[in-house]
Structure 1
């Protein structure tokens, strides 16, 4: 397997990752891929030849080895590394899709037009793609740890195993080659996998908390703007919709009329006398 090509493919994920994602990628390459390539492959080189049984029965050693090691640790870890790093390509493909849309949009509306402010910024669909990739990576890590524990009944490798599988004539003692080295590397790889799970969980919590904080700030800003607009509306001097109607106080009300109005009667009588004096015929007619 060409791990250099694999590393080159994943190096593009680093610029779209958060701080936790960069640490996760460093742990994967330094503590898992390099340890796998440099040391683990040599320890598990040809492990079937190092599996010795105290019998010469043809096929007994092969059957016992297959019974206790249905899949080799080294091949299981290779599959785990491939499956764990594959979800990261979802982010790279999503960014490539955004770049293609941006290129087509500029070709249609001009070079100055922009569909995205930054195609690699984790907003909208890319945020969901990144979050889903984290959940998938965490699930794959947990599944492979469970498989390793289930297949080998624990993470511990004994020096001696007893086999009673046919065609072995009776109980056969078989010895594992380099048991201490294999046990150390097994614990190291399990610990590195557990560390990657913790980093993925921290990154998930970080992304969700950051998104919740951003949404809360938007809601607060929106409520503040609405409150300011509402207060400006009430302070408008030309707005009389909510102003109370003026009431006439009791002291400003006109005094009530009592009795007759004697002051107006003389004026009325004088006017009548003037009319009678100027037109005497009218009085006789009446």
Structure 2
């Protein structure tokens, strides 16, 4: 169980830097694959070669028939599958730690998140390809059923012999279970890959451009306030004509223009000066 604990600690480090769909994929990986294979799968498949019995005593015939029936053991096939699926996330963690160290030391002047995001996107694509490849390999190697009987012919067997597999029904259940888990894992990887591509697509670019425009607008100085209109001083009450003033104009009379009043006063002064000159003569 020591190697499984080490692999689980590495995948726990991946969980700290994964989005929600990536964490769901890790839950499926840790519980439905590693935990099931480490606790139950070993007891079912580790003794399959010893329990593979043929109705002959010819030396080497049973081993040859087992190799033809199972080119790769189920247990070793799934173990190699888990190790290969864990490689891209672990490489992403190594890259993230390395890049974080460079950014902390000031050796990297470029932006951090975009390269890290591209690396994570590559790791998801690689694990999806590995998942599909192993699903195809499991279908070609074993199909969806472990047959209880296997007929074998050829050297070193003297004739066609019958071989029998131990616990075929239980092994068939495990084969179907692991194939279903593989399909679920592949669907989660496809959903996560689509989500990452959608976040980095044109819509996300437009959102980033809109946010950049809003930030630029916030950095610009505010426009100057509009200049106030000139205020007209109010007319004092003392200069307003009163209706009861006998010397003033009637209430219904409109004040004449300022220019006419000034002109009239000028003409009256000129006529007064002429009268004074006549009197002096």
Query: What's the TM-score once normalised by structure 1's chain length?
Result: 0.70
1:201 equivalent in structure 2: 190
C-alpha contact 1:63 1:165 (8 A) present in aligned 2: no
C-alpha contact 1:83 1:140 (8 A) present in aligned 2: yes
- The answer to whether 1:175 aligns with 2:164 is yes
- The answer to whether 1:77 aligns with 2:41 is no
Return the alpha-carbon distance in structure 2 between the equivalents of residues 193 and 14 of structure 1: 19
- In structure 2, relative to structure 1, the CA distance for the partners of 1:225 and 1:99 (3 Å cut) is closer
1:101-150 deviation digits (Å, cap 9, x = unpaired): 12321xx8xxxxx9689x6xxx3111110000001001111111112222
Relative to structure 2, which stretch is displaced further, 210-219 or 4-13? 210-219
Q: 5+ unaligned residues in a row in structure 1: which ranges?
A: 109-113, 228-286
2:224 equivalent in structure 1: none
- The answer to whether 1:138 aligns with 2:128 is yes
- The answer to whether 1:3 aligns with 2:4 is yes
C-alpha contact 1:14 1:25 (8 A) present in aligned 2: yes
SS in 1 for 2:16: helix
Return the alpha-carbon distance in structure 1 between the equivalents of residues 100 and 137 of structure 2: 39
1:41-60 aligned at under 5 Å gives the runs 41-60=42-61
The CA deviation at 1:208 is: 1.0
C-alpha contact 1:90 1:129 (8 A) present in aligned 2: no
The CA deviation at 1:169 is: 1.4
SS in 1 for 2:180: helix
1:100-111 aligned at under 5 Å gives the runs 100-105=101-106
Return the alpha-carbon distance in structure 2 between the equivalents of residues 220 and 14 of structure 1: 32
1:40 equivalent in structure 2: 41
1:67 equivalent in structure 2: 68
**How many residue pairs end up in the alignment?**
218
C-alpha contact 1:64 1:165 (8 A) present in aligned 2: no
Query: What's the TM-score once normalised by structure 2's chain length?
Result: 0.71
Q: 5+ unaligned residues in a row in structure 2: which ranges?
A: 218-281
1:187-239 deviation digits (Å, cap 9, x = unpaired): 11111111110000000111111122321213455688999xxxxxxxxxxxx
C-alpha contact 1:157 1:179 (8 A) present in aligned 2: yes
Return the alpha-carbon distance in structure 1 between the equivalents of residues 42 and 124 of structure 2: 28
1:82-93 aligned at under 5 Å gives the runs 82-93=83-94
What is the Cα-based RMSD across aligned positions, in Å?
2.6
